Amino acid sequence: MILVLTSLADQDAVAFAKEFGGAVAISVLTCRDLAENHTALRYPDFASSTLTVDRRKIAIGEIEGVINVLPAVFPEELVFFPPEEREYQAAEFHALLTFFLSGLPCPVVNRPAAGSLSGPYLNPIGWYHLAQRTGIPVSPIRLDTENFVNPFAASCDKPVIAVTCLGDRVIAPSGTTADRDTIALSRQAKVDYLTVLYTADEAGRPQLAAVRAIPDLRDGVTRRALIDYLRGHRAA
């Protein structure tokens, strides 16, 4: 079974599960599902853990892959808890999901890291640091907490190249050095999926402008690639 871990209001995930539901066992999982249906995650005996998916109790071993489009648990998401409990419960669910996703033996796109549920960084500047350390040019940014203007909002408006990689393979190539750089960045970040937006410098060379570590389920190429990737792991 493939799980799509997402937020309550994510209709793209529901549509994705519906699109491929005839070909593979695929279900959407939210924090509400984990809270309102029986969940039992054990340690050290993690393999004996169970959760409820589509009203059926499943063992951890039945999960063949996870597509994770939930970078963090926000209190606002947890409408099924009283308002005064939501901030505490958000931290608790973050802890639960970190434990759950980190321990799964199947592929998780993407697996949590210390910084976020979907990879190493929530903050875009973290990706800039990693890119510079990897030798990837970054587009110039400047910011000041006085008169703060989000520099990433501006750079995302004018990308000239978008490259997506999944499992060491570029699924939407650009035919430029950005393809190689995107793979290098995903390896450094130890994530399976990455979309990197680049702008061009004065000589037309790509410079990293923004990074998305959450699979874009509105994109048909990405949807197909995700299913093939997880099926490929199952076959292997």
Partner 1 sequence: MILLWGLLEDPTFRSVYDWLRELRANVAFVNHAAVGRTRIGLSSSPKLSYKLCCERHSYRLDTVSAAYLRPYDHRHYDEFAGLGGPQQSASHADIVHQLMHVWAEHADAVIINRPSAEATNHSKLNQARFLRACGFLVPDSIITNDLSEVRYFLSRHGSVIYKSMSSVRSIVKELHACMLDSLGNIGPALFQQRIVGDNLRVHVIGEKVFSCLVRSPSIDYRYGPASLETAHLPDEITARCITLARELGLVVAGIDLIATPEGKYYCLEVNPNPAFSFFELSEKNDIAQAVAQALMLG
The residue ranges that bind partner 1 (CB under 8 A) are 34-35, 38-45, 81, 88-89, 91-96, 98-99, 102-103, 113-115, 120-121, 123, 125-126, 128-129, 132-133, 138-146, 148
**CA dist., res. 27 & res. 43, Å (int):** 25
Shortest gap between Cβ of 7 and partner 1 (angstroms)? Answer: 17
Whether a cis peptide bond, with omega within 30° of 0, leads into 71 is no
Shortest gap between Cβ of 233 and partner 1 (angstroms)? Answer: 22
CB closer to partner 1, 26 vs 138? 138
Burial of 62 (0-12, 13-18, 19+ CB in 10 A): middle
| Pick from 47, 30, 28, 50: nearest CA to 39 | 50
Shortest gap between Cβ of 196 and partner 1 (angstroms)? Answer: 16
CB closer to partner 1, 159 vs 173? 159
- Following CA atoms 140, 143, 147, 151 in sequence, which dihedral angle do they give, to the nearest 10 degrees? 50
CB closer to partner 1, 59 vs 143? 143
Shortest gap between Cβ of 133 and partner 1 (angstroms)? Answer: 8
The two beta strands, 108-109 and 65-68, are parallel
**CA dist., res. 97 & res. 87, Å (int):** 16
CB closer to partner 1, 58 vs 113? 113
Shortest gap between Cβ of 227 and partner 1 (angstroms)? Answer: 28
CB closer to partner 1, 89 vs 118? 89
